[in-house]
Amino acid sequence: MTLDYDDLLNSIMSSLDRTRQVDVKDIPNIDLYMDQLLTFMDDSLHKSVRRPGADKILTKTMINNYAKNDLLPPPVKKKYSKDHIIILIFIYYYKSILSINDIHTLLKPMRDRFGDTDKEVNLKDIYQMIYDEQDDIIDNLKKDIEKKYKVAIDDTFPDAPEDERAELQLLNFISMLSYDVFMKKLLIETMLDHVESVCMNKTDTKGGKESRKKKK
């Protein structure tokens, strides 16, 4: 197995530059029917999938399932608003690493603000804030990848036969990235478990107070 390491690293960095979050200014201000919504999502996010043209960004079945699981408010007269699209974009990014239940917990602040443009912080504000962070996130990710890449390629398996070294180094590099993802996913799940626990305690406390009021 032979690899052009410079070409591989350049390809990785280019893929990060291509995978950009949808600019809030590009999200339509008019409500969309289902087919229009699917077309917009596909046009906007196709560069982020592994096999563009083959992998589905979104389907009617997915949207209906999100509504059934209370992740997404139902359409109004079969039309989806800008707030619908914002939530769907977040679901798209989260679904590859989080369960439906975790996404439901995470998106509660957004569902609470759905359709309410008079809130001090509305869905558009939340999306814009996270969008503005992406350049720093990608820059830091590039630095981290370059560091891991250097360790994996330059400093590992020096005694392995030359025809096996590249394969072992690539395994090491991907394993380092995978473990990083695993630990971050574990951290996210721990935080969401804490949030869910706090919410349940609040509900139990509120229910207890109402029960005591009824007894009086």
Residue-wise pLDDT tens digits, 98-107 = 999 999 999 9
pLDDT of residue 4: 66
- 3-state secondary structure labels for all residues of 142-169: HHHHHHHHHHHHHCCCCCCCHHHHHHHH
pLDDT for res 154: 77
Buried b (16+ CB within 10 A) or exposed e, 175-197: ebbeeeeeeeeeeeeeebeeebe
User: In the 8-state DSSP scheme, what is residue 76?
Assistant: B
Residue 213 pLDDT grade (very low, low, confident, very high; cuts 50, 70, 90):
low
Contact predicate 185/97, CB 8 Å: yes
Q: Is residue 159 predicted with pLDDT exceeding 60?
A: yes
Quote the pTM value: 0.82
- 171-188 mean pLDDT: 94
Q: Is the pLDDT of residue 48 over 90?
A: no
